[in-house]
Structure 1
Amino acid sequence: MRAPLRWVLWDVKDTLLRVRLSVGEQYCKEAEQMGLSLTSVEVNAAFSQAHQHYSSKYPNYGLTQGLNGQSWWMGVVRETFSHCGVQDAALLNTMAQNLYQNFCSAENWEVFPDSKKALESCSALGLKLGVVSNFDSRLEEILRVCGLLSCFSFLITSEESRVAKPSPVIFKKALQKCGVPAASVAHIGDHYVNDYLSSRSVGIQGFLLDRHKLNNPAVPQEHRLSSLQELPLRLHQHMD
């Protein structure tokens, strides 16, 4: 007999909300306020290079190497602008600090149109909700200013838990907070490895949100969602 569903865990970025402008556009706005003239194309390319470098050299915000989310992101920003020819250390630090704080603002994030209703529908079904996200300590404030924080009973971020998806450990930490068997928990996310495979590896009912309709053939149709509008009915089928 299948265990009844009790909890739904959520990824956040690119599942419930997304960055409103491209990183290049956001960074260019900050650079312009400092009197610099850069293009979003060059900044995007520089950011991609810097982010890849930091992700490889300092995984999960460099927590085991003496960094944290803020110092990690400020390093990415400084390196991004350095690639674009900005060499003034004080200016780099100022822009890095400003951008780190700016990404806590609601104006920099766009909540997907189907997110709030899906969360409310899950709660109406009697399900409890939690977050499992590869995000830094700003996530609580971002969810608060976006009007979503009150939907959740708990948040687990990779910075706070010191472990990142796709490690199954972060999902095991979430299961401890849920206090129910893995089979009574679902997880919704947009990343095939980090969300779908990782959650299923510990027995959670993982669903892949496929907003771009990529139709990954490795994911059965019944585990795929093209929008969150499909979720309440799908979950209701798992509750009895």
Structure 2
Amino acid sequence: MRLEQPQAIRTIFFDAGQTLLQPYPSVVEICQQVCQRAGLGVDLTRLKQGLIEAEDFFYRQVRLNRHIWASEQAINELWLGYYVSMLRQAVDERSEQRLYELARAITEEFATHTRWEVFPDVVPTLEVLQQHHYTLGVISDWGISLNSILHRHRLTRFFDCVIVSAIARYAKPSTLLYETALQRANAIADYTLHIGDSYIHDVLGARSAGITPVLLDRSHRLRNHDVDCILIHSLTELLTLLELPGYSKPGQSDEEAPLALQAATKDQDGAQQQPDRP
């Protein structure tokens, strides 16, 4: 699926987690490091098993309260419960207080920029979009730490606005969150794209506000006929989608694309897939 009028697009919003950023080194490795600092030796295999329990807890809670991401307190409580569920399966520790202390320490780790890395295709893509004078922004279900994380990774220089659910008090896929972003960016929905990795939260949410959604599938699990929206597998494909001068059109070889984008795409294809932090 292609854009009908790519030249009409003036504003582009991005999701944050798994679109711009991913955990570093991985969720289970970060948990192992926190436990080791606390004097507990934890096997990665057991942590991966505990991750299954944690994800089950996560999705149960999100189904019960779809407004979790609109509250900093609710977000913190969600992650505390998430990591307690994970640690119960992985740590030989029977004290609930101790488990909560470890879970709190893990949650605090993820509030620091050092526990996140920027995907290789992000900066090259944002540089090109900025050079072409697009209005750029972020719309993310995240706690108040996101602004600091983006700033420390030197990404805020690209964005005209950053809409964080815990601050806006609206959560995806709420139309109000996307309308807030349009207002902040002084943008018109018909001339706006939103790129994210969740069909429900990013595609349906953006579409409800009249924004054209683009689904980012970095793991190549989907094909075009699987979804009813524009599908890309790396952010560099966005430049082709927008038909920017000098960037590869369908059928153009990789060798004809700009070198910086070739490198970013190859780095991304060769990168080890990190476990997702929901």
Into which bin does the TM-score normalised by the smaller protein fall?
0.7 to 0.9
Q: CA deviation at 1:55?
A: 4.3
TM-score (ref. length: structure 1): 0.84
Deviation string 1:85-117 (CA, Å, 9 cap, x unpaired) is 423344334323322222233332221111011
Q: CA deviation at 1:32?
A: 1.4
Letter in 2 for 1:97: R
Query: Does the 8 Å CA contact 2:214/2:232 hold for their aligned counterparts?
Result: yes
**Counterpart pick for 1:76 among 82, 85, 92:** 82
Deviation string 1:4-34 (CA, Å, 9 cap, x unpaired) is 3221100111111211233222111111122
Q: 1:9 — aligned with what?
A: 13
- How high is the sequence identity, in percent, across the aligned residues? 28
TM-score (ref. length: structure 2): 0.74
Query: Does the 8 Å CA contact 1:6/1:128 hold for their aligned counterparts?
Result: yes
Q: 1:112 — aligned with what?
A: 119
Deviation string 1:161-220 (CA, Å, 9 cap, x unpaired) is 233222323212212222232111111112222222321232212112222222142436
The separation in 1 between residues aligned to 2:177 and 2:77, in whole angstroms, is 22
**Distance change (3 Å), C-alpha of 1:61 and 1:49:** farther
Query: Does the 8 Å CA contact 2:23/2:116 hold for their aligned counterparts?
Result: yes
Q: 1:56 — aligned with what?
A: 60
Deviation string 1:126-145 (CA, Å, 9 cap, x unpaired) is 11111111111111111122
Q: 2:36 — aligned with what?
A: 32
Unaligned runs of 5+ in 2: 245-278
Query: Does the 8 Å CA contact 2:173/2:205 hold for their aligned counterparts?
Result: yes
Report matched runs for 1:128-147 at 5 Å: 128-147=135-154
Query: Does the 8 Å CA contact 1:209/1:224 hold for their aligned counterparts?
Result: yes
Query: What is the aligned residue count?
Result: 236
The separation in 2 between residues aligned to 1:133 and 1:66, in whole angstroms, is 13
The separation in 2 between residues aligned to 1:29 and 1:51, in whole angstroms, is 20
Q: CA deviation at 1:122?
A: 1.1
Query: Does the 8 Å CA contact 1:186/1:206 hold for their aligned counterparts?
Result: yes
The separation in 2 between residues aligned to 1:216 and 1:224, in whole angstroms, is 6
**Distance change (3 Å), C-alpha of 1:57 and 1:107:** closer
Deviation string 1:25-52 (CA, Å, 9 cap, x unpaired) is 2111111122212222222332332343
Moved more, 103-112 or 25-34: 103-112
Query: Does the 8 Å CA contact 1:60/1:163 hold for their aligned counterparts?
Result: no
Q: CA deviation at 1:64?
A: 8.2
The separation in 2 between residues aligned to 1:102 and 1:119, in whole angstroms, is 27
